[in-house]
Every structure is written in C-alpha cells, then in structure tokens.
Amino acid sequence: MDVQILLSFVASVAVLAISPGPDNIFVLMQSVVYGKKYGLATVIGLMTGCIIHTTLVAFGVSVIIKENENIFLAIKLLGAFYLIYLAYKVFKSDARIAMNADCIEKKTPFQLFKVGFLMNVLNPKVTIFFLALFPGFLFSESLSSVLQFYVLGGLFILTSFVIFSSIALLGGTISETIQKNKNIGVWLKWIQIIVFVAIAIFILL
C-alpha cells in the first residue's frame, strides 16, 4: 500500500473542496441565511450522494480492469485530459465569487438533505469526475480494485465533509471575509487550475 498516493489524493480533494463551486456556495448561503443546522443538512445530503457515484465507478471500472488493461489505460488518459479541460474551464471562468441570498427559499433540514442528495446523485458530472480522478490514485498491488475505489471514495467523502461542514459552521465569517477580500476568488481560481493540471500530469506519468 502506497500511503504517499493516498495523502496526495486527500490533499488534492481538500484544495478542490475549498475552491468555490455550486455545491459549497449553496452550503454557505444556506448556513449564512438560515443557520448552521441547515448548511450541515445540505452537506450530509451531498456526501450521501457521493456513495452512489463511488459505487458506480468502483464496480464499472473494476470490471474493465479485469477484462482489458489497455482499456483501463485509455480511461486514465481520458481522465487526465478531462482534468486539463476542467482547468481550462476554470481559467475561462469569472474569478468573482457570487453570493446572492435574495432568492433562497427556506426549507426544513430534511428537505435540504434531499436537495443535497439529489443535486449530487442526478449530476452525471460527478460520476465523470470520479471516473477521471480515482483510477490515477489506485494505491495497492494486493487489494482488489473495488476495495481501493471504495477507500478513495471514503476519503473523498470524509475530506469533503470536513471542509463543507467547516464552511457551514463558519458561514458568517467566511461570507464576510469573501466580501472584504475581493482577490480571494482569483487566488482560489489559480490554485484550482494548478491542482487540476498537477493531477492530470500525475495520471499521465
């Protein structure tokens, strides 16, 4: 087992989870407008949805590994190019972090759990992202690929949960900091680009 690969994976996930995106901005606004409990309910829903995507990737790719190593190599190469494409999309995007609380409809914590779950499960881009990311971080010659994918999925969920929960708990402080420091969006944008490109290079090499 290569612990260094797992640590690299956790570090990459942490940076990407911190970077502004639809999910963590949604969590932040629920927390700022209605309170920490509402933000945390959304986080739990989002993370529960990740279990579904992990399962799809774990069993789907594991079958491919058993059938044909060349196809698995092609998946890793496509994954690397997809990550470079994501870096390009971030590069072309606006660095400003938009936070608009005017149109947020109040829901119960359970309703927000369902919203977070459905936001995640019904988004095919999450499965594609997992498919691009996970194969490059297989870390053991002895463990089954299914188990390794579940370990990576668990680390992804745990790391994202810690960061998203921190966003929910510190919503007010984070919101004020973003509004006071306009350059935060630029810094996070370039960090996100660097991480996407670094992971792609790691997979290619």
pTM of the model: 0.91
pLDDT value, residue 66 = 77
Closest C-alpha to 42, from 53, 51, 30:
30
Q: What is the pLDDT of residue 11?
A: 95
118 vs 107: CA distance, rounded Å:
15
pLDDT at position 101: 61
Residue partners of 157: CB distance under 8 A and separation at least 6: 47, 50, 51, 54
Query: pLDDT band at residue 120, thresholds of 50, 70 and 90?
Result: very high
Backbone phi and psi for residue 151, each to the nearest 5 degrees, phi listed first: -65, -45
Residues 26-48: tens digit of each pLDDT: 999 999 888 999 999 999 999 99
Cα separation, 189 vs 186, whole angstroms: 5
- Where helices occur in the chain by DSSP H, the ranges are 3-18, 22-34, 36-67, 69-92, 109-121, 124-133, 145-169, 171-180, 184-204
Kindly report the average pLDDT of the chain as a whole number. 90
pLDDT digits (tens, 9 = 90+) for 72-106: 889 899 999 999 999 999 999 887 776 666 667 78
